[in-house]
Amino acid sequence: MEPTLAVIGLNFRTSPVAIRERFWISEAQRSHALYHLVRSEGIDEVIVLATCHRTEFILWTSDVPTAADSVLRFLAQEYELRLCEWTHFYRLMDDTALAHIFRVASSLDSMVLGEPEILTHLSEAWTQAKEAGCTGRFLDAIVQKALSVSRRIHSELPIGDGSVLPYAAVELAMQELGQLSGRKVLLIGAGHMGELAARGLMSAGVKDVYITSRTSASAEELAAKLKVHHVPFEQCRRYQETADIVVSSTSSPHSIISREQAEAVARAREHRPLVLIDIAVPRDIDPAVREIEGIVLFDIDDLEQAVRGGSGERQAALAAAEKIIASEVSGFRRRLATEQAVPALALLRHHLDDLCHEELELLRKDFGPFTADQDQAMTVLAAHITQRLAGSLARELRDLPGNGGQAALSAALQRLLGLDELPAVASEVKN
């Protein structure tokens, strides 16, 4: 079986947040996953990409079924994957996988068109895999190309700025509370999404915003940037009791607001309406909180539903981007084929050089001795013939439409040159 690209993963399209958070892999855990998977059967190179919207294993593999089994076993051992949950995972290969990576990098496969953070996530995942020795020239080349395609799409098309998700949180809050002017907001977490949420709420009229985080310095910095209040994380519970809206967006691997804690807050508020908005994966707030009187909980699935669909401008941009991706996949596939052909062409060139050397020795033995000029002329002629043949084969390689033609060429060369074994002349990423 010939080496190829494969992507195995799940995302917001294939699974609810309850499934995604089970298979979310933290940065520390990704190091373990990379170490384990690159040593597993069928996997030559690997990158692990994990965000709140997706967990994906990007693989370069000589055996896709075996590589998929290795990923399945890893998830079963480390995350207690059940076979019935395997249906949430997609398995893409060849051109389909390549186009998927280009879409992901360009934020076209994001829940919000133009989401800016996915490019950072992909770059960081690639860097982590490279530093762990888990990538080589194929995945390195693929990710570099994906980043280039992303830059082209964002420079040529009106792709969104990715701020729709936090602003959807504002809309959901307004559905429950009406106008937000005069409302009090507690923001838990000081990351990028939290900042966008705070800005959205403030643009909707909120003046009283309090920011807290386990990392006090980051919360203080964001509060100063937005000119709002910072509160110590230890006082988080007290501010929940007085807030109208709580937005939680931390990187905690566990819930930070349990049902019991929320019940205590509700009692202290005498069950006055409180809107909780959880935009974290894994979720910050126990889903059972929905059952508490006076509390309305929205999680990432609710926000995704709020922004699903899109305008005509969005659909036009998507259609134009897909055309760019199709063109880039076709061009890069030929480059990848040539990259894979290098070992075979090198062997072929070496074999041709040997044949020419043998024929020159026979000429010298049967018709020599030659003058220095004559000998040099024959040597240059032999090298020129070898170069012409190898160049013609390389051009033919680039022009072949698919794997079948390349396999036929490989077999023909093997017979023609009397080689016992010739590596695959090329292994294109095919559809």
Give the tens place of pLDDT for each residue, 323-337: 999 989 988 876 666
91 or 114: which leads in pLDDT = 91
Task: Using the predicted structure, report yes or no on whether residue 421 has a pLDDT greater than 60.
Answer: no
- For 238, residues 6+ apart whose C-beta sits below 8 A from its C-beta are none
Specify the pLDDT at position 138. Answer: 87
306 or 345: which leads in pLDDT = 306
Domain ranges across the chain: 4-161, 164-307, 330-417
pLDDT band (50, 70, 90) for residue 391: low
Task: Using the predicted structure, report yes or no on whether residue 310 has a pLDDT greater than 70.
Answer: no
CATH assignment of 4-161, given 3.30.460.30, 3.40.980.10, 1.10.3720.10, 3.40.50.720? Answer: 3.30.460.30
307 or 261: which leads in pLDDT = 261
Specify the pLDDT at position 430. Answer: 34
pLDDT tens digits for range 1-16: 567 899 999 999 999 9
Return the CATH fold of 164-307.
Answer: Rossmann fold (3.40.50)
79 or 429: which leads in pLDDT = 79
CA nearest neighbour of 206 among 270, 275, 160, 268? 275
Specify the pLDDT at position 426. Answer: 38
The mean-pLDDT minimum among 236-240, 243-247, 288-292, 362-366 falls in 362-366
Task: Using the predicted structure, report yes or no on whether residue 304 has a pLDDT greater than 90.
Answer: no
pLDDT band (50, 70, 90) for residue 422: very low
Q: pTM here? A: 0.67
Q: Could you give the residue numbers annotated as active site?
A: 52
12 or 161: which leads in pLDDT = 12
Specify the pLDDT at position 424. Answer: 43
pLDDT band (50, 70, 90) for residue 389: confident
Same fold, 4-161 and 164-307: no
Query: Side by side, which strands form the sheet with 245-248?
Result: 229-230, 208-212, 184-188, 245-248, 274-278, 295-298
Specify the pLDDT at position 93. Answer: 93
Task: Using the predicted structure, report yes or no on whether residue 147 has a pLDDT greater than 90.
Answer: yes
Q: Percentage of the chain with pLDDT > 70?
A: 81
What is 395-414 written as a DSSP string?
A: HHHHH--SHHHHHHHHHHHH
pLDDT tens digits for range 174-226: 889 998 988 999 999 988 878 888 888 898 889 899 999 988 899 999 999 99
Hey, CA dihedral for 393, 395, 400, 403, is it positive or negative? positive
CA nearest neighbour of 162 among 118, 100, 225, 105? 118
Distance CA 353, CA 358 (A): 9
* Average pLDDT of the chain, as a whole number: 83
Task: Using the predicted structure, report yes or no on whether residue 390 has a pLDDT greater than 70.
Answer: no
- For 345, residues 6+ apart whose C-beta sits below 8 A from its C-beta are 390, 393, 394, 397, 425
Task: Average the pLDDT over 398-425 and give the result.
Answer: 54
pLDDT tens digits for range 215-264: 889 999 999 999 999 999 999 999 999 999 999 989 888 899 999 999 99
